[in-house]
Structure 1
Amino acid sequence: MKRIGLIVLAAFIGGAAAIGGYKLLEPKTAQLSFQDQQKVLFASNSKISSAGAVDFVEAAAAVSPAVVHIRTSYSGGSGESSPMDMFDEFFGGGGRRMQRAPRAASGSGVILTPDGYIVTNNHVVENADKIEVVLSDRRKVSAKVIGKDPNTDLALIKVDATDLPVVKMGNSDNVQIGEWVLAVGFPLDLQTTVTAGIVSAKARSIGILARTQDQPTQQEYDEYQRTGKLPTRTNSSIESFIQTDAAINPGNSGGALVNANGELIGINAAIASQTGTNVGYGFAIPINLAKKILDDFRKFGTVKRGYIGVMFAPLDADQAEKFQIKENTGLYVTDVVPSSGAAAAGLQKGDIIKKVEGAVIYDSPDLQEKIGRLSPGDKVQLTYLRDGSEKNATITLKGDNTGGVSTKTASTGKATGASIGKLGASFAPAPAALKAKYGVKNGVVVTDIQEGKVFDSIDIPKGMLITTVNGKPVNSIKDVEDALPSSKNGMTTISGVGPNGNYTFSF
């Protein structure tokens, strides 16, 4: 007891000193990145091996006060699913989809700054009408979303509070397989819970963010209209998880994965389980990827993502045989997006990407995570093989509208369907396959929804197939525009169908 008392006292004194320093420099630190703010907050910390000591008492005492319980509530089903819902096998249920969003749910979050910035998972706060944060002192405070990104399953929220405890960020690049780690969060609606395990693997992709959604993008519809065939869906998600056998359960999502030195190395995001509870496979988003995403949220409210502009397939023995090549490691370039950074740097179909910034590439997460930390305009050096010779290329990353990185097909950017100002939505003509699926003869699909506009406020889901507007069948964006003025008594009526059944909305 005496030892624990000394540890708690030391943690209190260190925390008070850090907060005091932060308050003195607060006007300046508000303009710093999260990582630079951390340097101010933890400037006096001595440097220890990231593996730390086998005794986890100090790490648990340092981290637990800054891991919070997040409670969310929902007014009703929105028709959208989170990554966790889309892959129910990770939480049991035999692959069944949830029919409606839950009326209440909970998760975890990690405090990054004393003035209330908190990182969590996108799926913890997605579609929530109300977000409530329970702090370590049992206070309840409301939170607002600063930014969220389904492609990395990260979100940044903010509470109106000061002098909050903070977790120190570590360096996930230094994490080693076999290293001891702690998972801290609020699993199964329990209070703060700390579990221990080791790092089982790094750069793990489990497909949970590569959603098997029915709704195609505008570009995929354009491709369908040109070719008559539905193109292969683009995977724009970034999965490079730290895998751990530390017990992670539902409710741990958004919580902290820390090393034995008490440094944040990952944000817990998913489990692989047929039962819905821990069986030894937990996954966390590396903090080095999260740093860039979180800074973008605070600066822009969204992610400014840079792209190389290549299609590629990870190589193994089977893929090498398919492509009739001898190399069985690296990323085989299957195509290069025109006008992309890769095209400008001279990359060609058949090149094999072997290194990024000097680091050897074995699988797609190795490349995607490193590119995910960069922004449009940043430069990255790739090393690749062409005709048996090793070459280097410096690529300037382009923005979302110029092509991306995909393990199957080149990304052609965000949906750009015509925006209907009154509705705050974008649409694309529905392909025959989708209409046949729902047994309808006409329709347009909602490809994007603007926050705060009509569709958003009445919970019309993205991906819904709209069949009529004010009673008139619609097959194109022009049909929607033409039908809007024909509303009766000032009311607009939208009818359609989606994964959860038929919909009719009037406003």
Structure 2
Amino acid sequence: MKKSVAVLTAALLSAGLSLFPATSQAALPLAVDGQQLPSLAPMIEQVAPAVVSVSVSGTHVSRQEIPEPFRYFFGPNAPRERVQERPFRGLGSGVIIDAEDGYIVTNHHVIDGADKILVSLADGREFEAKLIGSDQSSDVALLQVEAGDLTEVKLAKSDELRVGDFAVAIGNPFGLGQTVTSGIVSALGRSGLNIESLENFIQTDAAINSGNSGGALVNLNGELIGINTAILAPSGGNVGIGFAIPSDMVKGLTEQIIEYGEVRRGVLGVLGRELDNETAKLFGLESQHGAFVSQVVPDSAAAKAGLKAGDIIVSVNGRKIRTFAELRAKVATMGAGSKVKLGIIRDGDQENVNVTLSEAEGENVKASVVHPALEGAKLSTYNQDGIQGVAITELEERSPAARQGLRKGDIILGVNRERVQSLKALRKLLEDYEGALALNIRRDNANMYLIVR
């Protein structure tokens, strides 16, 4: 017994955990044969107040097109579609990352479509939260509450994680209230799970269940290493395979949301695939870790930096990458204009290439960050059949944009008699502009003008 206690104590101490608070002897844990038992309690007591419960409510709107023969029976003014509204409620978790400004990070899927977001603190206080911004592709959302005496959790560098590091998950599973589970980092750089568009997950065997989404995955120092997001559950329950978004990704995304109200994703401009065994042999490589570049997009950031087809990217800013999916996720998390040092292998030689990322086009963004009159719409660059502009890809019922007469599928070709060919151009044109807008819109193969205020 003495030997097992000593081994566990040594393991936890080597991980940098301060096992016992510097308090009186009465506050120390129980002892066995004169040896104090190791405990995670001191660390949990420090971190737990930074993990919150998130409850949401809203209305799901579904639309079903009414076939033309049926519309005939309802007269000439019959609606083209039937709209159904169904209220919903949901539960999740969140993590306070900035106590002074009240910023809380959670998952996009936790708050998606919510009309009201309520945050409950560990001390029992409740606050209505404001959604600052979210990113569906990476499943990250940022909330804000106006409250004092908050506790924040420090972000660790997830790039420094190793398989086998201890991990502790804190969240609100099944609405039971704050719950703590522990395990290890089971794998890094997990992708291909079809959970999100951008996948670079930390895998852990710390138990994660429904309601843990948006909660904290911390190391033994009480630092945030990831945001718990999903589980692999063939039987519907926890089987010891959970996934978390790395803290480095969370940091990059939330910084962009705070500054711009949205994620301004960076783009490298390469196409490629994983470096498999066959490709590695063809290029005389022993390692199978890296991203094989099969094509460089003309005039892209990669092309300007001198990257070539056949290059193998093996590191980003000095950190090794394992797969092309990991490269994609890391780059997409960085903001447009970020300077990145890529380690590559070319013709058997290793070298570094410095790249300045360009801005992604075609991303769905909330129109409210472009102009208040467009609130309720989502916009994306449109370039099809010789038509260039900005498409309204989504539109909320009874939103300001809908009340102004805009429709889903409209393509904005111009604003105030100035041609607009991309979302980037529209943002630049309307930067700091507060007046009414004369929108040149293409709708149902016809052009029209719409004045919005």
Is the TM value for this pair above 0.5? yes
- Residue aligning to 1:70: 54
Shift of 1:275: 2.6
**What amino acid is the match of 1:155?**
A
**What amino acid is the match of 1:311?**
L
Rounded to whole Å, the distance in 1 between the matches of 2:241 and 2:204 is 6
Q: 2:126 aligns with which of 137, 140, 145?
A: 140
Q: 1:109 aligns with which of 69, 88, 94?
A: 94
Shift of 1:129: 1.0
Higher relative contact order (CA 8 A, sep 6+): 1
- Residue aligning to 1:164: 150
Rounded to whole Å, the distance in 1 between the matches of 2:112 and 2:349 is 47
Shift of 1:175: 2.2
Alignment TM-score, normalising by the size of structure 1: 0.62
**What amino acid is the match of 1:72?**
V
Contact 1:356–1:382 under 8 Å retained in 2: yes
- Stretches of structure 2 that go unaligned for 5 or more consecutive residues are 1-12, 20-37, 64-83, 386-390, 411-440
Task: Give CA deviations for 1:203-222 in whole Å, capped at 9, x if unaligned.
Answer: 11143344xxxxxxxxxxxx
**What amino acid is the match of 1:66?**
A
Contact 1:289–1:372 under 8 Å retained in 2: no
- Residue aligning to 2:299: 339
Contact 2:103–2:144 under 8 Å retained in 1: yes
**What amino acid is the match of 1:187?**
P
Contact 1:333–1:350 under 8 Å retained in 2: yes
Rounded to whole Å, the distance in 2 between the matches of 1:202 and 1:279 is 18
Q: Matches of residues 11-410 of structure 1 in structure 2 within 5 Å?
A: 49-50=15-16, 53=19, 55-77=39-61, 103-115=88-100, 116-210=102-196, 237-317=197-277, 325-327=283-285, 328-401=288-361
Task: Give CA deviations for 1:325-355 in whole Å, capped at 9, x if unaligned.
Answer: 5444421112111211110112122222223
Shift of 1:61: 1.1
Shift of 1:140: 2.1
Alignment TM-score, normalising by the size of structure 2: 0.69
Cα 1:480–1:207 change in 2 (3 A) is farther
Cα 1:478–1:65 change in 2 (3 A) is closer
Between the two proteins, the alignment pairs up a number of residues equal to: 355
Please state which structure has a larger fraction of its residues in strand. 2
- Residue aligning to 1:470: none
Contact 2:292–2:324 under 8 Å retained in 1: no
Rounded to whole Å, the distance in 2 between the matches of 1:384 and 1:305 is 22
Rounded to whole Å, the distance in 2 between the matches of 1:114 and 1:62 is 14
Cα 1:425–1:264 change in 2 (3 A) is closer
Rounded to whole Å, the distance in 1 between the matches of 2:298 and 2:94 is 41
1:447 and 2:393 correspond = yes
Contact 2:106–2:142 under 8 Å retained in 1: yes
**What amino acid is the match of 2:247?**
I
Please state which structure has a larger fraction of its residues in helix. 1
Contact 1:331–1:353 under 8 Å retained in 2: yes
Shift of 1:300: 1.1
- Residue aligning to 1:438: none
Q: Percent identity?
A: 42
**What amino acid is the match of 1:129?**
D
Rounded to whole Å, the distance in 2 between the matches of 1:254 and 1:260 is 19
Rounded to whole Å, the distance in 2 between the matches of 1:49 and 1:261 is 8
- Stretches of structure 1 that go unaligned for 5 or more consecutive residues are 1-46, 80-98, 211-236, 402-412, 432-444, 465-475, 486-507
Rounded to whole Å, the distance in 1 between the matches of 2:395 and 2:271 is 28
Contact 2:109–2:136 under 8 Å retained in 1: yes
Rounded to whole Å, the distance in 1 between the matches of 2:195 and 2:251 is 19
| Structure with greater Cα Rg | 2
Cα 1:456–1:192 change in 2 (3 A) is farther
Cα 1:78–1:166 change in 2 (3 A) is farther
Shift of 1:71: 0.5
**What amino acid is the match of 1:175?**
L
Rounded to whole Å, the distance in 2 between the matches of 1:426 and 1:374 is 21
Task: Give CA deviations for 1:269-302 in whole Å, capped at 9, x if unaligned.
Answer: 1111123321111111111221121121112111
Shift of 1:310: 0.7
Cα 1:248–1:463 change in 2 (3 A) is farther
**What amino acid is the match of 1:297?**
I
Contact 1:312–1:331 under 8 Å retained in 2: yes
Q: Matches of residues 412-491 of structure 1 in structure 2 within 5 Å?
A: 413-414=362-363, 424=377, 447-449=393-395, 452-455=399-402, 477-479=442-444, 481=446
Secondary structure of 2:229's counterpart equals strand
Task: Give CA deviations for 1:124-164 in whole Å, capped at 9, x if unaligned.
Answer: 01111111111222222111100101121111101121111
Shift of 1:319: 5.4
